[in-house]
Amino acid sequence: MSAYPIVLDGAAMSVLIVGGGRVAARKARGLVAADARVHVVAPSVCEDIAQLAATTGRVEISRTTYAPEHLRAVTLVIAATDDPRVNAAVAADARAAGRLVNVVDRPETGDFVTPAVHRCGDVVVGVTTGGVPNAAARIRDAIGERIDSRYADAVHDLSALRERLIGAGDRDRWGEAAASLVGDDFCDRVEAGDFAARIVQWR
């Protein structure tokens, strides 16, 4: 797959997951964490999916077999059953309907893959490794050891400063602040713990 990474606004997404097992649950959890709305279609679902539906209010479950009609009004489709024939049919229907589809058992036949994700505040890091998810998870965890709450705080403060200055019509000052604060030493400053003191100078 020729990878072109993008970041989608989860709150604007409505996602169909066909399948009710462990993999479908993992996909659903990641989507709920991104504030997406999720529709799970499967004759039966695992306890994790049932609990997500009961506790989050963002997961709808249809305990039935998949039909092309389930593709209506969705942004993305995930084929996550344990039957390759069903997954292939979901993928074909999704493409015919102009929907992007992820096929869990044969990702190369879909339009997108979901990366191993590290979230820390507004910092989101995704890792893909050419179809080797365990390697992606290891790399993600290594990144997560460095990209911690210090980065989340720094990015939060930068976002607040940007919003305030641009909201006040002072775009030039924001440009100056960004150039000064997010320079070559940005990571060093964040990890040294003195970034907060530097950003105060621009408030």
Pick from 96, 114, 132: which residue ends a domain? 114
Tell me what the pLDDT averaged over the chain comes to.
Answer: 94
In a domain, 125, yes or no: no
In a domain, 34, yes or no: yes
pLDDT at 141 over 70: yes
In a domain, 195, yes or no: yes
Pick from 71, 97, 114: which residue ends a domain? 114
pLDDT at 172 over 80: yes
In a domain, 81, yes or no: yes
| Residue 84: both structure tokens together | 């390759």
- One domain for residues 167 and 94: no
pLDDT at 132 over 90: no
Q: What is the CATH number of the domain that holds 64?
A: 3.40.50.720
pLDDT band for position 78 (cuts 50, 70, 90): very high
Q: Would you state the pLDDT for residue 165?
A: 95
- One domain for residues 93 and 156: no
In a domain, 110, yes or no: yes
CA 167-124-41 angle, 5° bins: 110
Q: Could you tell me which residues come within 8 angstroms of residue 154 by beta carbon, excluding any fewer than 6 positions away?
A: 186, 190, 195, 196, 199
Q: Would you state the pLDDT for residue 2?
A: 74
Sheet containing 59-62, strands listed edge to edge, beginning at the edge strand earlier in sequence: 59-62, 37-41, 14-18, 76-79, 100-103
Q: Would you state the pLDDT for residue 194?
A: 92
Q: Would you state the pLDDT for residue 203?
A: 79
Tally of domains within the chain = 2
pLDDT at 77 over 70: yes
- One domain for residues 94 and 184: no
Measure CA 83 to chain center.
Answer: 25
In a domain, 3, yes or no: no
Contact 40, 50 (CB under 8 A): no
Exposure on the CB side of residue 130, measured as CA atoms within 13 A:
0
Q: Give mean pLDDT, residues 101-109.
A: 92
- One domain for residues 16 and 64: yes
pLDDT at 1 over 70: no
- One domain for residues 27 and 70: yes
DSSP state of 98: T
- One domain for residues 86 and 159: no
Contact 24, 78 (CB under 8 A): yes
pLDDT band for position 108 (cuts 50, 70, 90): confident
74: containing domain: 10-114
